[in-house]
A and B are shown apart, each in its own frame.
Chain A
Amino acid sequence: MVERAAEVRVHDFGEVDLGLGPDEAVAEAARCLQCKKPACIGGCPVGIDIPGFLAAIAEGRFVDARARILEANLLPAVCGRVCPQESQCEGACILGKKECAINIGALERFAADVGEGEESAPTEPAPPSGKRVAVVGSGPAGLTAAAELARRGHGVTLYESLHEPGGVLVYGIPEFRLPKAIVRAEIGRVLALGVELRTNMLVGASVPVKELLDFDAVFVATGAGLPSFMGIPGEETNGVYSANEFLTRVNLMRADRFPATGTPVKRGSRVVVTGGGNVAMDAARVALRLGARVTLVYRRREEDFPARRDEVRHAKEEGVEFVTCAAPVRIHGEPAVTGVECVAMAMCDLDESGRPEPREVEGSTFVIDADTVIQAIGTSPNPLLVRLLPGAATGRKGNLVVDEDGRTSLPRVYAGGDIATGAATVILAMGAGKRAAAAIDADLRGAGRL
């Protein structure tokens, strides 16, 4: 696997990881034991036939490998890049117990990239069922459900409030990790199944709920887009961003090319990012590429970072400074940010998540100079449509409550992805989309209405 050198890549938005070459891929795939009961598949929420596609790569049949993957996953070039493989398929691979797990993600990406353009349409769509299904939100959950429903012959309308489909894949995850051309190509494949995409449609407003419920079934996949702020003094100061705003300005609106594009962003010379997840790493690395010195402040220890392993390593290599066991308590400056006051945190007893609970160390405050602050401390389910669904059961975080198959408490209304789980991962959202599509299909047919 080739990665571009840190000192080169921090100056542009080109992809960091260049993927496997064919020889490397064949050799890596050949290490697979072709287990009788492949544990890896159980670790993949969309159930890709992993040994199947690995065998094809090992034999040099790359296009077959791709076709095999596409049967279960229409976004392989995306998943191969952003899945937290260490806790999914690779975490389950039997080889991980003794030596090194198969690098399944990189191989999936290899097969996806090498075959791109050779359009092996996955499966012919089933004959039209005459049923209409609305899918709300075009992130990974919505895209997957839309594709699966279209394959099963249902008429699918996919609504998206932004001007471009993809959800977090286009507005959140940066170009250097997930090139937008790749996302567009994979979405193109979903739309080619006959899914009707309607952008600029905020469901609940552009499409009233009453009209929405006229569909035979509805899949709600509106994500966890609502950014949390810490609620510390100084947060309204100019120069304080949510990671969502900062990343959207750059990834979706291309503020890195301003003024050739219309949307500006404060580039900052000293940027402080708060948080330790993928979102924080992405915000920090985007800020670096816009020319800033970047410090990431996280309240736990480095080993507690929830971000993907590789992203933490990449951020470090590129020069993001980590200040761990510290939490911001106040933002200084008026009218614009001049610094972030932090307090040191001591790691105490284990909390519910099994990690030591951070507690403030009294009298330990210090200030980090900054002209820009980016908060990446989490997001919660988008409340807009949820509030309008009459009587839908919701959980503590404002998430829609669903059963195993994505059924909400309302008849004919299903949900999945971050709107049901709270902020999670691309592949979990896709898995939920796939299960819900199967349930919708079964319910529509089973209800004796076909």
Chain B
Amino acid sequence: MYRVVKAEPLADRVHALVVEAPHVARHARAGQFLIVRVDPEGERIPLTISAVDGDRVRVIFMAVGATTHRLAELGPGDAILDVAGPLGRPSEIPENQTCVIVGGGVGIASCPIIARTLKAAGNRVIGIIGARNADLLILEDEMREACDDLYVTTDDGSKGRHGFAADVLKELIEQEVIGCVWIIGPAIMMKVTSGVTRPRGIRTLVSLNPIMVDGTGMCGSCRVVVNGETRFACVDGPEFDAHAVDFDRLMQRQRIYLDEEREALEHHHASRCGCETGAPHG
């Protein structure tokens, strides 16, 4: 059992949980993730390690399905049955370059830890964080502190610049020499945004989020196509060269269980509030 020490809403349906998990916290590096299983009937789901403090790790997630809704109900003193990690390869960290880190939506969760690590390795770090609207923007303060410069965008213009992170990235790469770019967010955002750096051949990394089970290279559920080859995101990634990733395949495989995910969410709500409609309570 792993104790929840802090639970905090960050934005609409977006929550942060701080969990005591020494085996993960002590060895975690930027870019890695963990797997949680909330209770004995629960699914194993991967979440990025978003911050580390001593024996504690922080995860940030959006309540989208049954498991993330379950997690969102947890508060300090509650326990998570299983926390495994750290999993995946750490981010590859260059030295003394100008790096740009782009976060979209909940994907911003992964950014501060990478930004801080890049900074510590002597890089100049420019952050770009984007969300649909101001209410969904998370970790702005943390990113401002971790980066040398920070740009904020919203799709509807309710905060920062009106538009997409990709627009800012496009301007940046025209203005200065960029060594390396990270793009982390929904698959479609990573696909579109990495298109910006492709013509200039700028090294660009994306953190892929396929469906996983074990997270240790045993099942092959997480396979993605990179450079035309099959790779397992949990052990070969989750970061890959953006320009070699087959994003359409990733998005297709993310949809395998759409019907089942809906069913699980309905089951979750029905078992929580006893209502038949499956409408979220509260």
Contact = CB atoms under 8 A, between A and B. Distances in A.
Contacts of B23: 198, 200-201, 206-207
Interface string A177-201: 0000000000000000000001111
B217 A382 contact: yes
Residues of B in contact with A, size category: 35 or more
Contact of B84 (A163, A242, A262): A163
A157 to B, nearest CB: 12
A244 interface: yes
A370 to B, nearest CB: 16
Given A200-B23, A205-B27, A244 B264 contact: no
A384 B217 contact: yes
B165 to A, nearest CB: 28
A245 B213 contact: yes
A336 B61 CA distance: 29
Interface string B20-35: 0001100100001000
Contacts of A206: 23-24, 27, 84-86
Contact of B214 (A162, A262, A335): A162
Contact of A227 (B27, B41, B81, B219): B219
A314 interface: no
A226 to B, nearest CB: 6
B214 A236 contact: no
Nearest to B65: A262
Residues of A in contact with B, size category: 35 or more
Contacts of B225: 236
Interface in B226-282: 230, 235, 249, 252-253, 255-257, 260-261, 263-264, 266-267
Contacts of A384: 216-217, 235
A221 to B, nearest CB: 14
B240 to A, nearest CB: 15
> Which secondary structure dominates chain A's binding surface?
loop
A238 B253 contact: yes
A200 B41 contact: no
A341 interface: no
Interface string B21-63: 0011001000010000100011110000000000000000000
B218 A262 contact: no
A254 B249 CA distance: 27
B66 interface: yes
B210 to A, nearest CB: 10
Nearest to A267: B260
Contacts of A266: 256-257
Contacts of A261: 41-43
A235 B230 contact: yes
Contacts of B263: 258-259, 264
Interface in A209-229: 225-227, 229
Contact of B216 (A198, A202, A258): A202
Contact of A253 (B213, B216, B218, B252): B213
A225 B221 CA distance: 13
Given A238-B256, A260-B41, A262-B42, A208 B84 contact: no
B179 interface: no
B75 interface: no
Nearest to B39: A262
Given A206-B24, A262-B42, A264-B264, A245 B82 contact: no
Given A162-B214, A206-B23, A262 B256 contact: no
Interface string B69-90: 0000000000001111111000
Given A205-B87, A206-B85, A266-B256, 18 more contacts: A200-B83, A200-B84, A205-B32, A225-B217, A227-B218, A229-B230, A241-B220, A244-B218, A253-B44, A258-B260, A259-B263, A259-B267, A261-B41, A261-B42, A261-B43, A262-B264, A335-B252, A384-B216
